Chains A and B, each alone.
Chain A
Amino acid sequence: MADFDSPTENPEDADPVSGWQAFMDDPSMLLFLGIASPTLLYTLWGVMEVLSVPVAGY
């Protein structure tokens, strides 16, 4: 079994984690923003536009 106490061999690998990086490592925040952005900007906006096209009278 490999040595689990030292998952990185180089001391320089152990970068301190900045606040921004910690934010980016947060799955729930990314999940929320990553779903909200295309849902609003692509799907909802696109669907609203199609809905606003008047239906042709037969």
Chain B
Amino acid sequence: MATAILRNPQDFITCPDTGQNLNKPAISLAKANIFTAIVFLLAGGALGLLVALTRWPAIHILPSELFYIALTGHGAAVLLFWCHFFEVGVAYYFVTSPINARLATPKIAWFSFWLMLIGAAMATVMVLIGQATVMFSAYPPLKAHPLFYVGVILFAVGALIPMFIIIATLIKAKNERTYTGSMPLASFGILIYAIIAIFTWVMGAVIMIPTLLWSMGLIHNMDAQMYRVVFWALAHSTQQMNIVVHITIWYTLAAVLFGARPLNEKVSRMAFVLYLFALQLGSVHHLLSDPGSSFAWRTFNTSYAGYLAVLGSLIHGLTVPGGIELAQRRRGLSHGLFEWLRKAPWANPVFSGFFLSLVLFGFLGGITGVTMSNQQINMIIHNTVYVPGHFHGTVATGTTLAFFAFSYWIVPLLTRHKLAFPGLARMSTYLFGLGMGTFAVFFMAAGHLGVPRRHWDITYADASLPFQFSATVQMLVTVAEIGAVIGGTGALFYLISILGTFMGKTVEKGALPPLAEPAGVVAARLHGGTEPHIKGLEVPGSLVLCLTLLTFLIIYYFAQYKYLATIWGIR
């Protein structure tokens, strides 16, 4: 085996807890990005709570104008700014530490950070002062103040630059031989993320620049359908960036907590490549009920290509828990199907957040995402609260929960501060998972009964044509919003704990909780490698979990078609 070489050791510090070599500029940038992300989550979470308390029929707290400001602000602050600042921050870590690399061009990385921050602040202010009440999708003919679009464009350009820095860092590391063999899986995941991001942010520019000109009155006609096609190349792909990063985090946390390795690294890598080719094509599932495009375009992208991406997800869904199961069984936890899981560290928020995110993402976000990508089924849920129900299953209980779990590990690692308020941290993952999970499930049920999304008042009190939803619907929406409040409380506990950690005191050693393996081995595990000679049967518990998911998917699919047949009978 060739030997890895360290260039400029003075640019690194070694973590006494994990044995990793941390590149100093990358750590500062990661901390700044993650901290900013958390501030946006605070703002966006508060707005989300106000939205939930308005949609809760018995409370109905905001008047309509403020409701739509809060809804737009919530969508932008959490979906765009929380997720993408956080992702850029962790990406800087993933492309440096696991491969002993130095970040390329830190000065440009700082420049991009400020661009993102100025853009995000500008867009948020325009929303909060009521000059951009266009929802996060900003569909024409809804028009915002030009400064809102300028803010979004600055943010997108700022978020694009780090992707080239990431790729340059990886190429430089390879050339300087800072690692040997194949690129570690975590860094590879981030490479895939960066490529998807380049497509995404370029699409953002392609659609936002004409929209800016239109808002300034320089272009007179904005084609609503053309906007939607290109907008979803941007907006859906940002979700794929989220997914790729949170899956990279799953693999990393499995390695950190259990010393687990992917069952087969090459297969996991292939699953990331499937994402690269097929995931963004699923953007069409936002347009399935729109006019103006052919059945071939819709079906090729969502059904044929989309299923390749689903295959990728099923692979990750088996290999991540499978790696943990194998590591646990080797430690002697091999009774029955699930001793390895029962005896996992459920009181550690790094684990609970990670595992709940894995399960909830698969069952709530994944299964519903696959079925609603079907042309016929899409028609029964289009523009209902089923849609926010589904995507809180992906971005909240999937991505955000994984980011919570990872923060509890990475923030102490980067700051060398002990986790503050560990009791709150412990509760946060359960409250957020349970609350947002309830919100998602009950919103999806209400969506099936026709409750529209983004609606200020489902009692239609001031509508000229009276309409009343049944008591069942009122109950479903109420339970969903109770779930949202519980989830919001979980998010608040997370924020208190993580902001407290940022402000804590530096410790020499022991900032991180005790790890399953000695420091040097943890660092090596992050480098990856494959479990030798694994066929899958060595991990029966994970196989059962995956087959349960698959069975549930099949039953759910049939149930949706049955439902379609009852409400839209063919006689």
Contacts and interface: CB of A to CB of B under 8 A. Distances in A.
A, B bound:
yes
Interface of A: 1-10, 12-18, 20-22, 24-25, 27, 30-31, 33-35, 37-39, 41-43, 45-47, 49-51, 53
Contacts of B523: 2, 7
Contact of B293 (A1, A7, A10, A50): A50
B277 interface: yes
Given A21-B269, A33-B277, A46-B284, A4 B203 contact: no
Given A7-B180, A49-B292, A49-B297, A35 B521 contact: no
B180 A49 contact: no
Contacts of B319: none
Contact of A46 (B3, B174, B229, B532): B229
A26 B510 CA distance: 38
B529 A7 contact: no
A1 B14 contact: yes
A31 to B, nearest CB: 5
A22 B16 CA distance: 33
A43 B284 CA distance: 10
A18 B269 CA distance: 13
A30 B9 contact: no
Interface stretch (B194-202, B335-343, B440-448, B550-558): B194-202
A9 B199 contact: no
Nearest to A39: B199
A49 B293 CA distance: 6
A15 B179 CA distance: 13
23 contacts: A4-B6, A4-B9, A4-B21, A4-B100, A6-B3, A7-B180, A10-B529, A21-B266, A21-B269, A24-B273, A25-B174, A25-B182, A25-B183, A31-B198, A33-B277, A34-B195, A34-B199, A37-B280, A43-B230, A46-B287, A46-B293, A49-B293, A50-B229
Given A2-B523, A41-B305, A42-B283, A17 B297 contact: no
Contacts of A34: 192, 195-196, 199, 276-277
Interface string B518-530: 0011011001111
A48 B157 CA distance: 26
B170 interface: yes
Contacts of B536: none
A49 B284 CA distance: 13
Contacts, number: 143
Contacts of A6: 3
A5 B4 contact: yes
B83 interface: no
Interface string B297-316: 10011000100000000000
Interface of B: 1, 3-6, 9, 12, 14, 19-21, 100, 167, 170-171, 174, 179-183, 188, 191-192, 195-196, 198-199, 203, 223, 225-226, 229-230, 233, 237, 265-266, 269-270, 273, 276-277, 280-281, 283-284, 287, 291-294, 297, 300-301, 305, 520-521, 523-524, 527-530, 532
B273 A30 contact: yes
B203 A43 contact: yes
A30 B292 contact: no
A6 B2 CA distance: 10
B5 to A, nearest CB: 7
A41 B520 contact: no
Given A1-B21, A8-B524, A27-B170, A42 B529 contact: no
Q: Is the interface of A mostly helix, strand, loop or mixed?
A: helix
B237 A38 contact: yes
A17 B414 CA distance: 32
A39 B203 CA distance: 9
B182 A17 contact: yes
Nearest to B275: A34
B195 A7 contact: no
A11 to B, nearest CB: 8
Given A34-B276, A38-B199, A49-B293, A10 B524 contact: yes
A8 B529 contact: yes
Contacts of B174: 25
A30 B192 contact: yes
Contacts of B181: 8, 13-17
Contacts of B521: 9
A14 B1 contact: yes
Contacts of B188: 24-25
Nearest to A25: B183
Contacts of B305: 41
A47 B229 contact: yes
A46 B85 CA distance: 30
B1 to A, nearest CB: 4
B182 A2 contact: no
A57 B198 CA distance: 39
A34 B280 CA distance: 10
A39 B230 CA distance: 10
Nearest to B531: A12
Contact of B281 (A12, A25, A41, A53): A41
A16 B266 CA distance: 12
Given A17-B182, A21-B269, A49-B294, A7 B527 contact: yes
Which are the 4 A-B pairs with shortest beta-carbon distances? A13-B529, A4-B6, A34-B195, A38-B280
Nearest to A49: B293
Contacts of B300: 41
Residue in A3, A5, A38, A45 whose Cβ sees the most chain B Cβ within 10 Å: A38
Contact of B195 (A15, A16, A35, A51): A35
Contact of A30 (B191, B291, B294): B191
A17 B179 CA distance: 13
Contacts of B1: 14
A9 B182 CA distance: 15
